[in-house]
Amino acid sequence: MRIYFDNASTTPLDPEVVKVMSQVLVEDFGNPSSIHYFGRKSKSIIENARKIVAKEINAAVNEIFFTSSASEANNTILKNAVKDLEVRHIISSPTEHPCVINSLNAIADKQLCKVTYLTVDHQGNIDLSQLEQLLASDSTKKMVSIMHGNNEIGTVVQLNKIGALCRQYDTLFHSDAVQTIGKYAVDVQAAKIDFLSATAHKFHGPKGIGFMYISNDHILSPYVHGGAQERNMRAGTENVVGIAGLAEALSIAAKHRSEVLSHIIDLRQKLKQALDAVFEDIKYNGNQDSDYLHHVLSVSFPPTPKADLLVMNLDIAGIAASSASACSAGIEEDSHVLKAIGHPEERKTIRFSFSKYNTEDEVNYLIEKLQTMTPLKK
Catalytic residue among 99, 113, 166, 327: 327
* C-alpha dihedral sign at 250, 61, 224, 170: negative
DSSP 295-334: TEEEEEEPP-TTGGGHHHHHHHTTEE-EE-EEEETTEEEE
Name every residue whose Cβ is closer than 8 Å to that of residue 368 and which is 6 or more positions away in sequence: none
Active site residue 166: no
CB 200 within 8 A of CB 249: yes
- What residue spans of the chain are helical by DSSP H? 15-27, 37-57, 70-84, 98-109, 128-137, 159-168, 229-232, 240-255, 257-278, 310-316, 336-340, 360-370
The closest alpha carbon to 304, from 282, 274, 321, belongs to 282
Query: How many CB atoms are located within 10 Å of the residue 230 CB?
Result: 20
| DSSP strand pairing (210-214 vs 195-199) | antiparallel
Contact yes or no for 169/142 (Cβ under 8 A): yes
* 123-132 burial: b if 16+ Cβ within 10 Å, else e: bbbbeeeebe
Contact 87, 141 (CB under 8 A): yes
Q: How far apart are CA 193 and CA 177, in angstroms?
A: 11
Name residues whose C-beta falls within 8 Å of residue 238's C-beta, 6 or more positions apart in sequence: 32, 42, 46, 66, 229, 230
CB atoms within 10 A of CB 83: 15
User: Rounded CA gap, 1 and 318, in Å?
Assistant: 6
Catalogue the active-site residues: 327
